Structure 1
């Protein structure tokens, strides 16, 4: 059920982008119990002037490899699950594609379960 938006600097090869999505999906499956085939991800690549972020906010040194990840999820997870997700995403991305943890920015947007339609004009999770 997550909808994942990933913003990154333009010019990374297809293998890098695939490693990003695969790593994030593994983290979602492992910490949020998302089904393996529940994959809805949007990647947007930005030229340097269109990806704007503070390189030192909260004393975290960010580089040109900065990646912003926004996850829209149902509001059913605990604080512990959220912390585990953040850590797992950073760990997975550090392994492959080799992204520095300092360059991983994550934002969760939580919505009620009835705010999803996966197709056919039906609110599949509405009760």
Structure 2
């Protein structure tokens, strides 16, 4: 936890997607301080005609390498979110050659009761995952 969902225009190789996921994971580790094995990522690829990502009038150029990253997580501070935006763009540029203009991020915040990692229980509530806290 957090759960990261990536919406991409189809056409990347498996190796490119793996590199993208690894870079995003490093950014998440640095921004949120979660454990290394706290890795939940889902990629959804779309035909180009199925994706419209404009710029809300900000004149942000987009290419076919654009990615939308949806982060579902427990509450995070403004500083953590801003660090994630920056670190993600830096990692994707360094490891994937992606421009920051091709990275859009959305946070969806929920509570400890909204997470079950399996076995029919809410591990944050039962204390198996440390209960309430920043991770």
TM-score interval, smaller chain: over 0.9
Deviation at 1:79, TM superposition (A): 0.7
Deviation at 1:63, TM superposition (A): 1.2
CA-to-aligned-CA distance 1:10-45 (integer Å, 9 cap, x gap): 110111101111011001111101111111111011
Matched, 1:92 2:91: yes
Change (3 A) 1:72 1:56: closer
Name the counterpart of 2:107.
Answer: 108
Name the counterpart of 1:124.
Answer: 123
Work out the CA distance in 2 between the residues paired with 1:41 and 1:60. Answer: 26
Q: Equivalent residues in 2 for 1:22-41 (5 A)?
A: 22-41=22-41
Indicate the SS of the match to 2:125. coil
Work out the CA distance in 1 between the residues paired with 2:82 and 2:22. Answer: 19
CA-to-aligned-CA distance 1:44-88 (integer Å, 9 cap, x gap): 11111111111674121111111000010101x211111011000
**Unaligned segments of structure 1, at least 5 residues:** none
Work out the CA distance in 2 between the residues paired with 1:58 and 1:23. Answer: 26
| Alpha carbons 1:56, 1:62 under 8 Å: kept | no
Question: Hey, which bits of structure 1, 4+ residues long, moved more than 3 A?
Answer: none
The size of the alignment, in residue pairs, is 126
**Unaligned segments of structure 2, at least 5 residues:** 127-135
Q: Over aligned residue pairs, what C-alpha RMSD do you find?
A: 1.2
Name the counterpart of 1:72.
Answer: 72
CA-to-aligned-CA distance 1:67-123 (integer Å, 9 cap, x gap): 000010101x21111101100000000011111110000011110112100000100
Work out the CA distance in 1 between the residues paired with 2:56 and 2:123. Answer: 42
